Amino acid sequence: MAKAEEYRSKLIELTEVILTQNREISPGVHLISWNRMHQFQAGQVVKITLDPAIPSRIYSVCSGSDEPEISVLFNIKKDGVLTPRLSDVIPGMKIWATKPYGSFKDDKSPAWWIATGTGIAPFYSMFCSGISENKTLIHGVRQLSQFYFEDELEWAMGDRYIRCCSQEQSCNVFPGRITTYLQELNELPTHINYYLCGKALMVVEVRDLLISRGVPYENILAEIYF
């Protein structure tokens, strides 16, 4: 059995940061920010918690790599240990965070970014970091209010920003799930990379669909929220 000091030392990677922003950008969805102290690459994640004694959770960074602040997007999970409390933290208060890490990273080559819900975060970070030129972004949500950052993305990406909504309808929004949208496409490019981010079932279904349509699995990189 390891000694208690050794166990505690495993937590030193978390450092205190002071919140600079906590904004509810959609019902039950918050964007929080703190000053950036480390370089990072868009697509990377941070672990955050309110207290080192509470297990940290992993969130994708949702801001550009050159911006002065690091932001994170999260849903309030009513029965969760962290998010209900995190949503109440006000600017000036401290939370704990690691420096960004992870390998969900893209370059400037053509790719499709596919996200559901708050899975938009790493792609918004990539967008804000200036690597959206050869990309197609497909965002699937249940309600129209969940198209976070849509004005900005629509303005900059135009037809390469595709919205799918399964429970509400609007013009320029595909009425249905992402998998239905993809199934209805006559052709899918097979030589580019696909980046998937969201809940497990979406990732698994989309990955299976892409593979069945001839996309090599090596071209598919997935990040699952768990």
Q: Degrees (nearest 5) of the Cα angle 61, 63, 67?
A: 125
> Contact region for another protein (CB under 8 A) — 29-37, 65-73, 157-165, 193-201?
193-201
Cβ burial, residue 60 (10 Å; 0-12/13-18/19+): buried
Contact pick of 5, 10, 90, 159 for another protein (by CB under 8 A): 10
Q: Which is nearer to another protein, 51 or 88 (CB)?
A: 51
Cα of first residue to Cα of last residue in the chain, in angstroms, is 28
208 binds another protein (CB under 8 A): yes
Contact pick of 39, 79, 90, 226 for another protein (by CB under 8 A): 226
103 binds another protein (CB under 8 A): yes
Query: In Å, how far are 30, 35, 52, 163, 172 from 202, measured between CA atoms?
Result: 22, 33, 32, 15, 22
* CB contact burial 84-94 (16+ within 10 A = b; e otherwise): eebbeeeeeee
Q: Which is nearer to another protein, 63 or 193 (CB)?
A: 193
Contact pick of 5, 6, 151, 184 for another protein (by CB under 8 A): 6
Q: Which is nearer to another protein, 161 or 223 (CB)?
A: 223
- Is residue 221 within 8 Å of residue 193, measured between CB atoms? yes
Q: How far is the CB of 211 from another protein (least distance, A)?
A: 5
- The contact set with another protein (CB under 8 A) reads 1-2, 6-7, 10, 45, 55-56, 58, 101-104, 199-201, 203-204, 207-208, 211-212, 216-218, 220-226
